[in-house]
Structure 1
Amino acid sequence: MSSAHSFVVTGASGGVGSAIAEHLSSIGHVINLDPTPARSANPRVHHVEGDAGDPAAAAAAAQLAEKHGPLSGWVNNAAIFRDASLATATAEQISALIALNLNLAVVGCHTAVQHFLSHSRPGSIVNVSSHQAQRPVRGALPYATAKAAVEGLTRAAAVDHGPQGIRVNAVALGSITTARYEEYRREHPEADQQMAALHPLGHVGHPLDVAHAVAFLLSAESAFITGAVLPVDGGRAALGPDPESA
């Protein structure tokens, strides 16, 4: 990809999204669609204040990206972390939480596909998923369900729009050292040892690990990859508990 290209990354005011945006800025202009103020002073990272689940805000991000260069990649990174239990919440509350997270990816995919088609241009979409789509942890039912649906969306969109040269893939993350993770570490002194045991590589990932994987899936180097879910999890999803390990 040349520096003339542009990208949209949702939820890029912090955490993994920020790392993705900063990394992609080395090869093009990046639009961060996020309701919170942008933290980047990078002149190639631009901010659109808005909800990634709002079609009007997503369209505005696409339009701004196009002003800086042909929009060639869209990353659906924004997520909502709110849990609810089948035992204590209503079905309506749980369904609403699932819809909130899933809608972020649906709106992003819809906006990107519409933009690529209207410009008769191939493009690439990367959805950020989680190891929980396949192996949930207790207490995260709405999030895990939404991410499983995002992976289904990834495959279906890839099948539907492959003939137009639009590729759709996902990255399924393990634990990553974001501010949210660091807060968890402060509250749980045993976290480092537990997380090392959960990831076969012996440690959690860094935001730049995710950024590199996303950039690969957006690039011509992955031109024959679509409908794939790439684990970026240090082997966490592959690990099964060993009853003899104790």
Structure 2
Amino acid sequence: MSFSIKGRTAIVTGAANGLGLAVARHFVRAGANVVLADMDEAALEREMTEMTADADHVRMFTGDLRQKLSIANLVSTTVDAFDTVDILVNAARQVAGTAPLDPEDTSVEDMLMQNLSTPLRLSQAIARRFIKQAEAGSEGSIGSIVNLSSIAGRRANPELLGFSVANAALDQMTRSMAVALAPHRIRMNGVQVGSVLSASLMGWLRDHDSARQSILDATPLGRIANAAEICDTVQYLASDAAGFVTGQIVTVDGGRTLLDPAAVAVH
């Protein structure tokens, strides 16, 4: 079975930077039509100027996907440009700290809106589009949705309470929605990532030099992932090669979640 997504149309959220941008670029190189969606218009425009050679296969969309109208406009933009949509990658992730004992702290609600409710609503809209454009009697999957989450959802970190809770909820949403969408031949899976060598992490490590060794010590494979390794996993789940895979959370963390943090600290 082929891993190819050539000729498919994909929407990638959070595509102005980080993993969202990495996935969008990866999909373009793989021959897909890609709509880059984000709130950062300036960053998207800069990226579009870098993709002039692929201009026929790339579009940008700027909007706040927490708003239902923006979701509808994103779907319309994609269909107007490429006629269909075949893949959705929910890669937009917001990280914010939490003061767990402060009743005025709204970070949990904010994280749940950005990292759970928004991908859920967008997935519902895209799923309806998948169903509408499916031909009667066609075989196999009619669309694939991939949600990016974090191993923070499996760890107890009070300072990242909102982010951790939202990621745990997103993984459960992926499983539950996969069952709901399966009768319509729509697949939904997740990629749960550990530390990735993004621009933001590299900048943070420059200011926290000892943190790099802590990450390496906590990772059995002894290194930090590069974005391409996450992108390859996303492409697999989006492709026909994963045609019988749904409701799965694929953890790409170098084995980090296999270790007891206490044991790592002792050794």
| TM-score interval, smaller chain | over 0.9
Alpha-carbon offset, residue 58 of structure 1: 2.4
Q: Distance in 1 between matches of 2:110 and 2:200?
A: 23
One-letter amino acid of the structure 2 residue matched with residue 36 of structure 1: D
Query: Which of 70, 85, 109 is equivalent to 1:57?
Result: 70
Measured on the aligned residues, the alpha-carbon RMSD in Å equals: 1.9
Amino acid corresponding to residue 165 of structure 1 in structure 2: R
**Corresponding residue SS for 2:19:** helix
For these two proteins, the number of residue pairs brought into alignment is: 246
2:173 equivalent to 1:153: yes
In the alignment, which residue of structure 2 is the partner of 1:27? 31
Q: Which amino acid aligns with 1:103?
A: S
**Unaligned residue ranges in structure 2 (runs of 5+):** 136-141
Which position in structure 1 is the counterpart of 2:139?
A: none
Q: Report the CA distance between 1:245 and its aligned residue.
A: 4.8
| CA gap 1:15/1:159 in 2 versus in 1, 3 angstroms | same
Q: Which piece of structure 1 moves more, 88-97 or 221-230?
A: 88-97
Aligned to 1:166: 186
- Which shows bigger deviation, 49-58 or 77-86? 49-58
Give the match for residue 72 of structure 1.
Answer: 86
Determine helix, strand or coil for the equivalent of 2:128.
Answer: helix
User: Are the counterparts in 1 of residues 218 and 264 from structure 2 also a CA contact under 8 Å?
Assistant: no
Native 8 Å contact 1:171 1:213 kept in 2: yes
Q: 1:240 to 1:69 in 2, by over 3 A?
A: farther
Measure the CA separation in 2 of the matches of 1:93 and 1:31. 29
**Structure 1 residues without counterparts, runs of 5 or longer:** none
1:110 aligns with 2:124: yes
Are 2:130 and 1:126 aligned?
no
Separation in structure 2 between the aligned mates of residue 60 and residue 219 of structure 1, nearest angstrom: 26
Measured after TM superposition, the shift of residue 70 of structure 1 is 2.6
Matched ranges for 1:97-246 at <5 A: 97-120=111-134, 122-241=142-261, 242=263, 245-246=266-267
Letter in 2 for 1:15: G
**2:108 aligned residue:** 94
Displacement after TM superposition at 1:62 (Å): 2.3
Aligned-partner Cα distance in 2 for 1:96–1:243? 32
TM-score of the pair, normalised by structure 1:
0.92
Greater fraction helix: 2
Contact 2:24 2:34 in 1 (8 A): yes
Higher mean C-alpha deviation, range 48-57 or range 30-39? 48-57
State the Cα distance separating 1:206 from its structure 2 match. Answer: 1.1
Alpha-carbon distance in 1 for matches of 2:106, 2:18: 30
Report if aligned partners of 1:54, 1:107 keep a CA contact under 8 Å in 2. no
Q: Is the 8 A contact 1:171 1:232 kept in 2?
A: yes
Give me the identity figure in percent.
27
1:81 and 2:95 aligned: yes
